[in-house]
Structure 1
């Protein structure tokens, strides 16, 4: 009679166990979880029907056992009545012993004993059959109940495992997405000035690194894909006997600028580096300017370069 209560408690605990998982998913995950809960409810309704059927079958078996027990009680009552008749007959026989011979008394006694033994045997056989039937019925009900509980446990564990794995997968994907959004990888490293150009922008044409896709060789500028704190570096080599301005520009602001002179007496060109850290808004640009192709080493890939990296997104 306590079986439905146990099943309900088991299902409630299973649902509660699934509901305490951390929820960091989107609307699609909530829809999937609701679908799983509906499946659990449908499964619980089917289990309730199976329990009711099992209880009805058990009641029928128990009623059959009670009928057999009543039959045995009736047999015992008949036996008591027969014994009473035997006692009465034995009393009458005792009165007649006085006028019968010893042989007649012995024959009657043997007949009584045989009938009594036969009756006792029949009673014992009937009792054994009834008890065996009761034991077999109880064993069948126990086996049926064990199979039923095994099926319930297996199905519930399977559904709970599937739901838990889906929740974990969704949480992992959501956390990875949040981490990538909070700490995106943005970096670039370009080089090579292999064409004639003016001093507005140095046209770096070859890419070593462009994580985040921010640098464009078409515009020779880096466009910030996310807002954050950036580090920029430029390395430029100049021809001898030149004087030129240079600057590192982010948005409308020249963050680092200066003038560089290579004396006429120099035997070779000279190289310079410039760097700066800046807060850059999303879609703002950065580039190196102020140096014309006549001043820098053109067609030398190893000397001129421009690089930058996102230190922290904001």
Structure 2
């Protein structure tokens, strides 16, 4: 700390030039010794005061340095203590954040986030066949369903509106003795490939693939070999379908962010009050003048004025003494006030951080409670509606437009499927996924369609001249309460079933 006072030595130079030509009676009458004595006493007192100030200045500087050093050590201890407390709070916060992340992961892993998944699904098909070159995209221009608007019937491409897990399927049919080879492509990567060939008659095949997509990514169907795709309005519906199963919610790796404000470094203003006392008295008396010209007691007049000036200087120094004491008291008061202010700031910060920790604990408890409710099924608003039925009867002749009944019910959650009529009736409005799997006898056709309220929504054909084989069709259907879906025969057909071939009809509610 800079010295509190900077004192300049008071130099009193008195040059007395006396004229020796004066008369003895005049010197006795106008003697200046009285004033010189008073001036000397005043100068002695001032010198003693200045020596006292020197000592007080040194003591003040030592005291101030001692106080500042003590305060520095004390503040350092407080900072270390505060840093330890804040470090502990940060550790607690990290533990809470990790626990929250774990709870959230378990939350989504166990139950999923069904209620926030948007309805995105499409179902498109082709009514007329054609030849395709290797690498050519197959366009399905007839759109039965396009929830979310992701499918483009001009380009044949589906563009993901949101990030999530999607499920795609393609159903293809071929001309007799003509190959059809296709792939489901995500971006530039094949995710599923299938082929179909039969030497005598045309038949169909399906392939499915789940795909994790980001916003803006595309999925489409392309030929991977020169192919002839067969399609007609009665027996064969090549189709392309897709549906969003669930959506991924992006989080900032910072689920929770805290800005810590610990201290503002402030520089204490240091005021150096410098009392410079400069009293230079240079008295030059000219003695060369003649006695009759110089006034008789002129030197005495100067000494009188000098004494008056010294008295005023002494009074000023006494005033400065009082000001110094006041300054010391003010500095100590300011330091004490700053100490109390910093204590209040530390206390306020501790209270704020403590409140944050309490808030995070509340959030953790709320998420735990929410997880328990989710695990108990209170948050899964989607009712469990699903069915799976099959038939064990083979070589049964079906006529055109006859409904196929699958009497052996393996699953019927929600009770929507009727094993007597073979018809599924929607208990709730929503988006449903249906699939039919049919098998045929050797050299016998099997042609079926999935029908929604008398409207065909998917169709497939199975035929092989040398063996019994199977085919599948899939449809996404938006249904209202009471709507019906069933499987009908589109061409005189023969169903075949054994331990290796299970004709079946299944459906599930995706979302409401």
TM-score, normalised via structure 2 length = 0.24
As a proportion of its length, which structure holds more helix? 1
Q: Please give the TM-score of this superposition, normalised by the length of structure 1.
A: 0.39
As a proportion of its length, which structure holds more strand? 2
